Structure 1
Amino acid sequence: MKLWKKVLMCSSVVLAGLTLGACSNDNSNSTLSNDNKKPITLWVATDYVPWYKTSVKQFEKKYPQYKVKVAQSPNGTANAKTDVGKDPTKAADVFAVPNDQLGSMADAGYINPLSPKDVANIKKNDTAVAYKASQWKGKLYGYPYTADVQFLYYNKSKLSASDVKDWDTLTKKGVVATDFSNAYNIWPVMFSAGTKLFGDSGEDLKGSTMDSQNGVNGLKWVAEQKNNKGVMQTTNALNQLKLNHAQAILDGPWDAQNVRKILGKNFAVAPYPTITINGHKKQMQAFLGIGCFGVNSHTKNVKAANALAEFLTSKEQQLIVHTKTGETPVNKAAQATAAVKNDKVADAVMTMSKPGYSVIMPKMPQITTFWNESAPLLSGVYDHKVKPAQYRAKLAKLQKDISKK
């Protein structure tokens, strides 16, 4: 899903507009009225509205006491936090939301923790990483349903499966295109180098460790790519692949259909390759996002809203999402079906979702500061405008700035 792709290109969104709500942290939804007869509203991505209407009809058949109105998210699902925050009392009862927005929304009182029953169901039926990604401060706030992570698309007539296993071989045999001004694409190299962003949990304000020799080593790798003839800096990797100026790109499942059209029978995917940092082979990593459905804490019909969110994230509905969009389910039984196991893209996503291949998108409110400052740092290092002698100081400033409350 394009949950993260859009929001990360608009990283200047300010969190100051988030105000604390009156809801408590003990599932205060339970105190609201559940007998409201008005239809509840569901917000989803614009192009998903038609087939979610079909899912809603199935829901209404199962729960005839409830009615649902499907509408497009006002400014896209990537901006759920902003849209709900404008006026939670007028926002949708249930809405699609990336997991990295759950923390801010929970702190603002827009969403409440899930019930013990729903928590138990998610823990039992969904992957451990989806369960973890939907938590904030030890409580579950989202109903997970899909995994999003980047991997490698490549032209198998130009590159072999063996070629793409290591960055050095890949960039000697062909050209890989990506955007070094996009922190979503490039910052995870810093995880490969051994640094942490908000600690192991992704929720530790003082847990970032980029101000270190490991951080410097990561930036050195970024700088080296400027002179690597097998690496292309571009803000439109798809076009470079289409023109055959590049034979591989770093991209996600949201562009699978486009890449299939470009490569046709030469379409191939693979997990990220290994890279060499400070003389050591490391697994190149990516950011992992989990698509969720959130329930508005201001809904007038809690039972209907919770029932809808649970229904839309069931095994059956996750498989429908996979069929319609190609997104990878997080339900373990859905992942075990032939339809998902035999899907090359889903297989790459599931591999990249494993520990050591990716890091869950942090849910800290300070992530906005991180996006704003990390992108120009990476771009400057790649372009050699930021000199090696400046690396440590720049990393120290970034670490300090994202550690402020």
Structure 2
Amino acid sequence: MKSLNKVLLGSATLLAAITLAACGKSSSDSTTSDSKTVSGTVKLWVDTTKVPYYKTIVKDFNKEYPDVKVTVTQSPNGSANAKTDVGKDPSKAADVFEVANDQLGSMANQGYINPLSPAATKAVKKNNVAVASEAVTWDGKMYGYPTSQQAQTLYYNKAKLSADDVKTWAGLTAKGVVATDFTNAYNFYPVFLSAGTYLYGKNGETLKGTDANTAAGVAAMTWFAQQKSNKGVMQTSNALNQLKSGNAAATLDGPWDSANIKKILGDDFAVAPYPTINVGGKDVQMQAFLGVGCFAVNSNTATKNQKAAATLAQYVTNKKSQLVVYKHSGAIPVDKAAQASSTVASDPVAKAVITMSQEGYSTIMPKMTQMATFWNLSAPLINGAYTGSIPAAQYQAKLDTFVSAISKAN
């Protein structure tokens, strides 16, 4: 999914040192030491564009931990593909790597990563917003150090649309044109969630917990179909070009594109949480998927380097590090103190994303291994309803097939 490839989206206060247990899924949880006498050699993988400023973060790290040698390099295929890259040969992968939270379940099940220690878990919960802690938890244990959050918001041209116009989908599309893409399930599957269905249950970890094949799911399919004749909705694979040309006045996008959209709209730039939509005759909040970027420690890291690797993972996700990353990339922090900083608190994009991270506005991206099947099947389902290639008479049957396919054990 191309949107997920962008995705990548807390921090913990620096604990003096952390010791990971022996390699593999069967090893014990990591533990924490009060000593700052940490040494070792660690490789850190981050997305290509982030290498320069993570090198700066590592320089600060080395002021406190001079005996840890850290090499910062780009992930082979980006954090969105960490599971695949690490899985090729865990023994040759980086000791600490950036990864999207939706991959943690599969990586934990395959033994690529170990859960955090009780002390590290406590620190993450204390210092980060609750949704970040929840996002990096799988089967009751925390497997990542959260660093940022990403949820799509509504960007719009305030010369063409008012703040009141964009509060509802009906108002938005009556006054202007929203450019978007119904072939992208990351954008539109959450309409099913807005309608009242669940994806892998309330906790996102229940194999048989998807109920899109209900009356609520049919209502979501009907909403997609209605947008085809909505003159205020433009189907496009390049919404930013439509904004730039003036053909569109709004789009649904994430914080990763905020800098580009600011350049396009200039003084007319504005951003807001998603509007409400009418599904099945009810006005409900339009939801988005919530992704949380994090760092995990390779369980195959050599024993002598485990403490150094875990210490680094916690440092690069602390408040100071998150603010450095925010300054350079716009990635929204999940550390409570970082969010309260004047820079973040006054940022309209950050405020919109933080609003979207609240309950009722978004759903945390599930960490189920079956999500690969979900992405393959959900996009044609949504686009089929939008284009009309799936007629209303087939909605129920198509939804039954979809739910059955994504509910099978791998």
2:354 maps to 350
| Residue of structure 2 equivalent to 1:156 | 158
| Number of matched pairs | 388
SS in 2 for 1:198: coil
Partner of 1:313: 317
2: CA distance, partners of 1:82 / 1:7 = 16
> Cα–Cα, structure 1 residues 144 and 72, in superposed 2: closer, same or farther, change >3 Å?
same
Q: What's the counterpart of residue 14 of structure 2? A: none
Name the SS of the counterpart of 1:289 in structure 2. strand
Q: TM-score, normalised by structure 2?
A: 0.92
Structure 1 residue 365 corresponds to structure 2 residue 369: yes
State the Cα deviation string for residues 312-362 of structure 1 (Å, max 9, x = none).
111111111111111110001111111111001100110000000000000
CA contact (8 A) 1:55 1:317 kept: yes
How many Å separate the matches in 2 of 1:160 and 1:119? 43
Hey, what does 1:282 align to over in structure 2? 284
Instruction: Name the CA distance, whole Å, in 2 between partners of 1:267 and 1:160.
Output: 11
Q: Deviation of residue 39 (structure 1)?
A: 2.3
Distance change in 2, residues 1:392/1:26 (3 Å): farther
Q: Secondary structure at the match of 2:148?
A: strand
Contact 2:105 2:368 in 1 (8 A): yes
**TM-score normalized by structure 1?**
0.93
| Correspondent of 2:120 among 101, 106, 118 | 118
- Counterpart of 1:246 in structure 2 is 248
Q: What stretches of structure 1 of length at least 5 have no aligned partner? A: 9-20
Take 2:29 and 2:253, find their aligned partners in 1: how far apart are those partners? 38
The residue that corresponds to 2:4 in the other structure is 4
Distance of 2:124 and 2:40 partners within structure 1: 28
The code of the aligned residue for 2:354 comes to: M
- Out of 80, 86, 96, the position equivalent to 1:78 is 80
Q: How far off is 1:5 after superposition?
A: 3.5
Contact 1:3 1:98 in 2 (8 A): no
- CA distance 1:273–1:60, shift in 2 (3 Å): same
Aligned to 2:208: 206
Deviation at 1:3, TM superposition (A): 8.1
Residue 212 of structure 2 contacts residue 403 of structure 2 at CA under 8 Å; is this kept in 1? yes
| CA–CA separation in structure 2 for the residues paired with 1:374 and 1:402 | 10
Give the equivalent residue in structure 1 for 2:183: 181
**For 1:267 and 1:213, how far apart are their aligned partners in 2?**
38
How far apart, in 1, do the equivalents of 2:403 and 2:250 lie?
32
Structure 1 residue 29, shift from structure 2 partner: 8.5
- Measured in 1, the distance between the counterparts of 2:76 and 2:366 equals 24
Task: Give, in whole Å, the separation in 2 of the partners of 1:179 and 1:41.
Answer: 38
2:379 equivalent in structure 1: 375
1:291 partner SS = strand
* Mapped partners of 2:192, 2:141: distance in 1: 28
d(CA) in 1 for partners of 2:360 and 2:132? 15
Counterparts of residues 216-255 of structure 1 (less than 5 Å): 216-255=218-257
Q: 2:342 aligns with which of 326, 334, 338?
A: 338
Distance 1:278 1:38 in 2: 58
Could you tell me which residue of structure 2 aligns to residue 323 of structure 1?
Answer: 327
Report if the CA contact (8 A) 2:173-2:232 is conserved: yes
Aligned-pair CA distance for 1:297: 0.3
Bigger CA drift: 38-47 or 213-222? 38-47
Q: How does 1:56-67 map to 2 (within 5 A)?
A: 56-67=58-69
2:148 is aligned, of 146, 149, 152, to 146
1:128 counterpart letter in structure 2: A
**1:395 equivalenced with 2:399 (yes/no):** yes
Contact 2:38 2:307 in 1 (8 A): no
TM-superposed CA distance for 1:6, in Å, is 4.5
Residue 29 of structure 1 contacts residue 297 of structure 1 at CA under 8 Å; is this kept in 2?
A: no
Helix, strand or coil: the match of 1:67? strand
1:309 aligned partner, one-letter code: A
Task: Tell me whether 1:192 sits opposite 2:194 in the alignment.
Answer: yes
Following superposition, the deviation at residue 70 of structure 1 comes to 0.2
1:3 and 1:271 mapped to 2: Cα distance?
Answer: 18
- 1:170-214 deviation line (CA, Å, top 9, x unaligned): 000000011101000000000010110000000000111101000
SS across alignment from 2:76: coil
Distance 1:36 1:401 in 2: 48
Q: Name the CA distance, whole Å, in 2 between partners of 1:380 and 1:25.
A: 46
Given that 2:225 and 2:388 are in contact with CA atoms closer than 8 Å, whether structure 1 keeps it comes out as yes
Distance 1:25 1:374, change over 3 A: farther
For 1:321 and 1:233, how far apart are their aligned partners in 2? 33
Q: Which runs of 5+ in 2 are unaligned?
A: 9-22
Letter in 2 for 1:160: S
User: What secondary structure does 2:199 align onto?
Assistant: coil
Query: Which of 243, 252, 265 is 1:263 aligned to?
Result: 265
Equivalent AA in structure 2 for residue 379 of structure 1: N
Give yes or no for the alignment of 1:128 onto 2:130.
Answer: yes
Identity %: 60
> Which of the residues 273, 276, 284 maps onto 2:275?
273
Does the aligned pair in 1 maintain the 2:24–2:112 contact within 8 Å? no
Matched, 1:23 2:22: no
Give 1:308's aligned amino acid. L
Between the aligned partners of 2:285 and 2:233, the Cα distance in structure 1 is: 18
Superposed CA offset, 1:108-139 (max 9, x none): 00000001111000011101000000000000
Separation in 2, partners of 1:258, 1:3: 16
* Per-residue Cα deviation, 1:62-90 (whole angstroms, up to 9, x for no partner): 11121100000001111000000000000
**Structure 2 residue identity aligned to 1:331:** D
